[in-house]
Amino acid sequence: LSVPPPLPRVAVVIEDDPGARDVITAVLVRAGFTCVVATTGTDGVQAVQQHHPILTTLDIGLPGVDGFEVARQLRSFSTTYVIMISVRDEESDILMGLDAGADDYLVKPFRPRELRARIGAMLRRVEGGRPPAHHWPAHQESAVDPPSVPPTENGVGSGWLHHKALRLHPAMWLCELGGVPLDLTRSEFSLLRAVVQADRRVVTKHALASALRRTDPDGSATAFDRRAVEVHMANLRRKLDDRGGGSVLIETVRGVGYRLSR
């Protein structure tokens, strides 16, 4: 009997421009990823279905189906971390990308170290926890099944955080509302975790922007970063609302940020 090799880190690169593709794959390979390349949106969706990448880079300007539509399709079945890549730095484009389900964005032309920084931010976010179990392909599921943790009366000691009908396990990336698992992207989970961990304290958009990127909380968050927080938060609330819980769970503190509702 031999020990199975560690799971390969797979990334899907959806990019029709050969030059950009070379830069992206070179950075990913150096970061330890196995890359699957797709040059159209349709092939990209298929590649994600087939290879279950932890990370997907997605060009917006693609022949046929564009990157926004690809992001929406990916979100219907995958929680792969999506870095959207655009030639335009129009805020409206990028916010539309985040709204379609992207986790992060990068504007062309970019330096390899900028992409490395984005990948580093993603890896720090999954480090110490695991990606949502439903994201993993069926044949790997037994390897990532969370250990059974007997819940205690008040949740203390079990690792679970509770708020009303919501319960969340920060380290295991698990979240349930009314006992039913919630299907959140990593960005949405990071925001929800930050708000729940703060208990009733207000979490500023600035702090949430840092939580998304795992950057220095004293560092600067641009107006753009704060808008990105708003978009991800709106998506999160929509999912909570679908289960009848959004505004009941998280309240907006106008001009400042968010906190758990009473």
In the complex with Ca ion, the residue whose CB is nearer, 11 or 24, is 24
**Nearest approach, Cβ of 65 to Ca ion (angstroms)?**
12
In the complex with Ca ion, the residue whose CB is nearer, 17 or 225, is 17
Beta strands in 23-172 (DSSP E): 33-38, 55-59, 81-86, 104-107, 161-163, 166-169
48, two tokens = 């994600």
Binding residues for Ca ion restricted to 56-115, rule: CB under 5 A: 59, 61
- Contact partners, residue 93, CB within 8 Å, separation at least 6: 60, 86
> Does residue number 16 form part of the binding site for Ca ion (CB under 5 A)?
yes
In the complex with Ca ion, the residue whose CB is nearer, 73 or 185, is 73
67, two tokens = 């990157």
In the complex with Ca ion, the residue whose CB is nearer, 16 or 93, is 16
CA distances from 185 to 16, 88, 133, 146, 258 (A): 26, 25, 12, 18, 19
Binding mask 26-65 for Ca ion (x = CB under 5 A): ---------------------------------x-x----
In the complex with Ca ion, the residue whose CB is nearer, 93 or 225, is 93
* Distance from C-alpha of 171 to C-alpha of 129, rounded to nearest angstrom: 4
**Angle (deg, nearest 10), helices 205-213 and 223-242:** 90
Name the one range near Ca ion by CB under 5 A: 16-24, 40-48, 88-96, 252-260.
Answer: 16-24
**Nearest approach, Cβ of 232 to Ca ion (angstroms)?**
25
Long-range own/partner contacts, residues 2-7 (CB < 8 A, 24 or more apart) = 7/140, 7/143
* Distance from C-alpha of 113 to C-alpha of 174, rounded to nearest angstrom: 32
Size, binding site for Ca ion by CB under 5 A: 4
In the complex with Ca ion, the residue whose CB is nearer, 68 or 189, is 68
* Distance from C-alpha of 108 to C-alpha of 88, rounded to nearest angstrom: 7
User: Whose structure tokens read 């995958």?
Assistant: 78
**Nearest approach, Cβ of 76 to Ca ion (angstroms)?**
23
**Nearest approach, Cβ of 66 to Ca ion (angstroms)?**
9
**Nearest approach, Cβ of 254 to Ca ion (angstroms)?**
39
In the complex with Ca ion, the residue whose CB is nearer, 43 or 188, is 43
> Does residue number 155 form part of the binding site for Ca ion (CB under 5 A)?
no
Which helix H or strand E contains 122, and what residues bound it? helix 112-126
Residue nearest to Ca ion (CB): 61
**Nearest approach, Cβ of 67 to Ca ion (angstroms)?**
8
**Nearest approach, Cβ of 62 to Ca ion (angstroms)?**
6
Residues of the shown chain interacting with Ca ion in the complex, contacts defined by CB under 5 A: 16-17, 59, 61
